[in-house]
């Protein structure tokens, strides 16, 4: 599909500078764009590219002030990155929707299926499953007994949803994710062996949750592991039994949260963060990548390091650490001088 600069500006409530009739049929990064493509400038680090890109149309923030001539047509918007997200959503919605139930899918007779759903080849839908309208279940998915899936939810190929789990409306679960596997519960025995503790709870994903590829969320020992509304989890994340993740928290890849920990709302957690079990992390907390937490964190804190502590203190300490050799050498010199003075 093709869109003109004027059509794009009208859709985004933006303002065109240049040829409003120029058309684009694809979206590209500003440094790789070719004629016929739309790009955007949101990060000032990429500003030099706007003067040499071949993109036909570029989205920029309203406050952008060019230092040289720009050959592309500019569309000024309040926030270029958000505007791009709107265009991508519009483009996706314009694509034909998949519908229908494949004859190669296995669907239990008593499953309750909403309108306009899609169940692909070799998907398995067990007894008493509820699937909301316009939900999409891609090939090789397993949907266990008594699972509930909300409206407009997309479950991509190879996802496994174990028995009794609940998935809300407008969720997205990417390939290879496992929702509701057993929590890691084993009781030590006198013979140095371990006895498995039955995990009888479930997982609840509230509305507008996105789960990345190969992420795993364990069912609760009792009760529920809960991922609240608006949470976004990246690929390769482990969420253990009875964890609760608060609304609109985002977590980057390869992070892990141990059992029964609670993460507040609107938190931002970097990649490869490890969170110990049974601790509470407050709201609005920011945790830098590769941090390790063994104790709770108050609301609004920014922390980093392993073990993690206050961001500003970490930076100051790290400066001293990098100069440790010089500091030790200076201490040695001072000790020698002190010995010479005291004769000891």
Q: What is the pLDDT of residue 318?
A: 76
- pTM, two decimals, is 0.84
Average pLDDT over residues 211-215: 98
Q: What is the pLDDT of residue 321?
A: 76
- For 106: left if phi > 0, alpha if psi spans -120 to 50, otherwise beta; the answer is beta
- For 341: left if phi > 0, alpha if psi spans -120 to 50, otherwise beta; the answer is alpha
Lowest mean pLDDT segment, chosen from 17-26, 32-41, 231-240, 316-325: 316-325
Residue percentage of the chain with pLDDT more than 90: 82
Average pLDDT over residues 120-141: 98
Question: Helix axis angle, 311-322 relative to 324-342, nearest 10°?
Answer: 60
Please state the CATH superfamily assignment of the domain spanning residues 100-313 in this structure. Hexapeptide repeat proteins (2.160.10.10)
- Summarize pLDDT for 231-269 with one digit per residue, the tens: 999 999 999 999 999 999 999 999 999 999 999 999 999
Q: What is the pLDDT of residue 22?
A: 96
Residue 144 pLDDT grade (very low, low, confident, very high; cuts 50, 70, 90) = very high
Cite the active site residues.
241
Nearest to 251 by CA among 234, 276, 235: 234
CB contact at 8 A, 46 and 53: no
Torsion, Cα 71 72 77 79, to 10 degrees, reads -90
The span from the CA of 199 to the CA of 215, in Å, is 19
Q: What is the pLDDT of residue 30?
A: 95
The neighbouring-strand residues paired with 187 are 195
- The residue written with tokens 């390769």 in the block is 236
Helix (H) or strand (E) holding 181: strand 178-181
Nearest to 210 by CA among 191, 228, 184: 228
Average pLDDT over residues 202-225: 98
Nearest to 214 by CA among 183, 231, 232, 235: 235
Phi, psi of 303 (to 5 degrees): -130, 160
The span from the CA of 45 to the CA of 28, in Å, is 17
Helix or strand or coil: residue 51? helix
The span from the CA of 33 to the CA of 196, in Å, is 56
Does CATH number 3.40.50.10860 belong to domain 3-94?
no
pLDDT at 325 over 90: no
Residue spans per domain, the chain: 3-94, 100-313, 317-344
Question: Helix axis angle, 5-12 relative to 80-94, nearest 10°?
Answer: 110
For residue 265, the tally of other CB atoms under 10 A from its CB is 18
pLDDT at 322 over 90: no
pLDDT at 164 over 90: yes
Mean pLDDT, the chain, rounded, equals 94
- Summarize pLDDT for 266-300 with one digit per residue, the tens: 999 999 999 999 999 999 999 999 999 999 999 99
Lowest mean pLDDT segment, chosen from 38-42, 70-74, 117-121, 335-339: 335-339
CA atoms within 13 A on the CB side of 246: 16
Higher pLDDT, 94 or 50: 50
Helix residue ranges, H only, 212-323: 311-322
Domains 3-94 and 100-313 share a fold: no
Q: What is the pLDDT of residue 90?
A: 80
């Amino acid at each position: 599909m093709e869109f003109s600069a004027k059509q794009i500006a009208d859709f985004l409530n933006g303002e065109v500078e240049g040829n409003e009739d120029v058309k684009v049929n694809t979206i590209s990064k500003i440094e790789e764009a070719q004629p016929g493509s739309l790009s955007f400038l949101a990060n000032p680090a990429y500003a030099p590219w706007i003067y040499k890109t071949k993109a036909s149309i570029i989205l920029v923030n309203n406050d952008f002030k060019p230092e040289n001539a720009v050959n592309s047509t500019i569309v000024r918007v309040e926030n270029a990155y958000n505007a791009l997200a709107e265009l991508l959503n519009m483009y996706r919605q314009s694509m034909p929707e998949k519908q229908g139930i494949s004859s190669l899918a296995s669907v239990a007779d008593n499953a309750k299926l909403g309108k306009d759903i899609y169940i692909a080849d070799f998907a398995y839908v067990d007894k008493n499953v509820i699937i909301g309208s316009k939900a999409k279940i891609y090939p090789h998915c397993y949907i266990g007994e008594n699972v509930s899936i909300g409206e407009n939810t997309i479950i991509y190929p190879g996802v496994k949803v174990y028995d009794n789990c609940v998935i809300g409306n407008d969720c997205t679960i990417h390939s290879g994710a496992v929702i509701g596997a057993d929590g890691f519960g084993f009781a030590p025995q006198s013979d140095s062996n371990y006895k498995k503790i039955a995990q009888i709870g479930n997982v609840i994903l509230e509305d507008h949750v996105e789960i990345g590829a190969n992420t795993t969320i364990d069912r609760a020992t009792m009760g529920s592991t809960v991922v609240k509304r608006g949470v976004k989890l990246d690929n390769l994340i482990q969420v253990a039994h009875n964890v609760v993740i608060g609304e609109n928290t985002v977590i980057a890849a390869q992070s892990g949260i141990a059992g029964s920990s609670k993460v507040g709302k609107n938190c931002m957690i970097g990649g490869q963060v490890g969170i110990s079990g049974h601790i509470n992390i407050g709201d609005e907390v920011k945790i830098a990548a590769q941090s390790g937490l063994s104790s709770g964190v108050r609301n609004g804190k920014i922390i980093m390091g392993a073990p993690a502590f206050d961001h500003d203190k970490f930076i100051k300490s790290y400066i001293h650490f990098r100069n440790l050799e010089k500091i030790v050498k200076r201490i040695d010199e001072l000790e020698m001088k002190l010995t010479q003075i005291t004769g000891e």
